[in-house]
Amino acid sequence: MSVIAIETLKGVETKWVWATAPNQFGKLSLTVLPNHEQQRVLESHGLKLKKDKEGNLMYSFTQSPTKRDGSPNPMRIYDRFGSEFEGLVPNGAKMDIEFTVSEWNVSGRSGVKAYVRGAKVLGDVKPVSGSSLSFDTPADDTPF
């Protein structure tokens, strides 16, 4: 795989963030609901967006929780202060996400895939446990 781009989505809405434990498919994942500008960034690299049940366009970053050599392959999520985010990120949280786009070629098939390099949860978002989806954000967007 070769990296063809490094991009950042600023203030993108997220849902279904499985960054600390694998989802039901055994992968770490982070799904974004991009606005029109963010959609153009993703699509400009050949990344394919899908629609959720409500008809919103979305893109899911996925990766294995371990590297080929068996070492951990974490999806790094940080709070607004730069410390590792502890717990589950609630649906609807806004994040800044830096990612790489890489080309792949396996068994005669090829394509592109995006991988999260790091993500920052914006605002005063509280980690959730279980299936709770509530969070508090301040009236003003807290900048970096």
* pLDDT tens by residue, 98-138: 999 999 999 999 999 999 999 999 988 887 765 433 334 44
pLDDT in tens, 70-99: 999 889 999 988 999 988 899 999 999 999
CATH architecture observed for domain 2-121:
Beta Barrel (2.40)
Name the residue type at position 45.
H
